[in-house]
């Protein structure tokens, strides 16, 4: 199958090309993101392969369908950038990679926790400048602290396992209980109780209408003063303006983010020579107790290998007419 691959970097081309050797799909790599303006590049391609910030809305899908595309292959887990109903109406199949880096994401969350707590990022810069003072670098023991995990699927469970190894107490919230987390001693509670009793809150849930701005002004009123808030899941789980107010008041003591609700115009690009126009993001990075990484939690060799392998398995399933376990469809309206 001829596949137009959008939003590609050197690492995408490396891992996709390596995984493609046995199947010999005809890949054409494009650096631009897919959107209404770039959809013309996919003319004559039965399939397009896209990533988290590609725009796969109704108008883009219509343009793709009119030029022969019948398959959208997501090389990521999230699909909130895809209009699934429009795809269904146009006869376009959509597949994704549902899980590829649970250990990588959980470990990155722990990295943010350790760096924020012991101020490793600030100490690194001091030492490079010959400043060996430890004033202002005071941390706390993770042992016997309470970690609240919101979302206890694969990533949330692994985070729980790691934090249990530090001697932490675990509180959890999810629509569905995970017996493996309960076996670790994790206690499921409602969100207000988790907010009120957690020293660290880590978000590992999908972005849905119900979880949009899960951390908002009302939630911040309920959290323990000085809490550490970690988000390696979806940017829009956090109301950024409300969190800024929480940081200014001291209610939020630490903030670690690998995602940001307006990240599509920033992340995965080198903007070091440009003036960033996002005033909210610029305000965030002025806080000394905020640590932001650019959507790299998934970024391990194992993850990129798994993404590539699953991507080609999905394409093969569709091409050969087999049911694909990773196909996603619009939910019927109630």
Active site residues: 234, 263, 295
As a whole number of angstroms, the distance between CA 262 and CA 281 comes to: 8
Backbone angles phi, psi at 281, to 5 degrees: -65, -45
Of 201, 181, 209, nearest to 80 (Cα)? 209
Judge whether 193 and 138 are in contact, CB under 8 Å. Answer: no
| Secondary element (H or E) of residue 292 | strand 290-292
Longest dimension (CA), the chain: 65
Backbone angles phi, psi at 238, to 5 degrees: -115, 130
**β-strand pairing of 187-188 with 169-173:** parallel
Cβ atoms within 10 Å of 71's Cβ, excluding its own: 21
């Amino acid at each position: 199958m001829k596949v137009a691959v959008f939003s590609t970097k050197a690492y995408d081309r490396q891992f996709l090309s390596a995984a493609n050797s046995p199947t010999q799909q005809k890949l054409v790599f494009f650096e631009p993101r897919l959107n209404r303006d770039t959809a013309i590049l996919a003319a004559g391609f039965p399939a397009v392969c896209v990533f988290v910030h590609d725009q796969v809305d109704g108008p883009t899908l219509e343009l793709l369908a009119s030029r022969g595309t019948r398959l959208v292959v997501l090389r990521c887990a999230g699909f909130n950038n895809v209009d699934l109903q429009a795809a269904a109406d146009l006869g376009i199949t959509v597949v994704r990679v549902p899980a590829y880096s649970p250990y990588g994401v959980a470990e990155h969350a722990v990295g943010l926790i350790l760096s924020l707590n012991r101020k490793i990022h600030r100490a690194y810069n001091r030492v490079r400048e010959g400043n060996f003072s430890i004033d202002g670098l005071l941390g706390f023991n993770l042992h016997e602290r309470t970690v609240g995990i919101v979302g206890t699927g694969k990533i949330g469970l692994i985070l729980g396992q790691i934090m249990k190894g530090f001697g932490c107490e675990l509180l959890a919230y999810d629509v569905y209980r995970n017996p493996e987390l309960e076996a670790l001693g994790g206690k499921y509670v409602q969100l207000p109780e988790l907010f009120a009793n957690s020293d660290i809150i880590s978000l590992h849930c999908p972005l849905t209408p119900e979880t949009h701005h899960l951390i908002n002004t009302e939630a911040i009123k309920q959290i323990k003063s000085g809490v550490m808030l970690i988000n390696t899941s979806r940017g829009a789980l956090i109301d950024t303006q409300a969190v800024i107010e929480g940081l200014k008041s001291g209610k939020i003591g630490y903030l670690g983010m690998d995602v940001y609700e307006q990240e599509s115009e920033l992340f995965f690009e080198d903007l070091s020579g440009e003036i960033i126009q996002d005033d909210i993001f610029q305000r965030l990075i002025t806080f000394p107790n905020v640590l932001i990484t650019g959507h790299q939690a998934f970024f391990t060799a194992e993850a990129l290998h798994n993404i590539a392998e699953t991507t080609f398995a999905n394409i093969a399933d569709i091409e050969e007419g087999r049911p694909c376990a990773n196909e996603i469809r619009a939910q019927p309206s109630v």
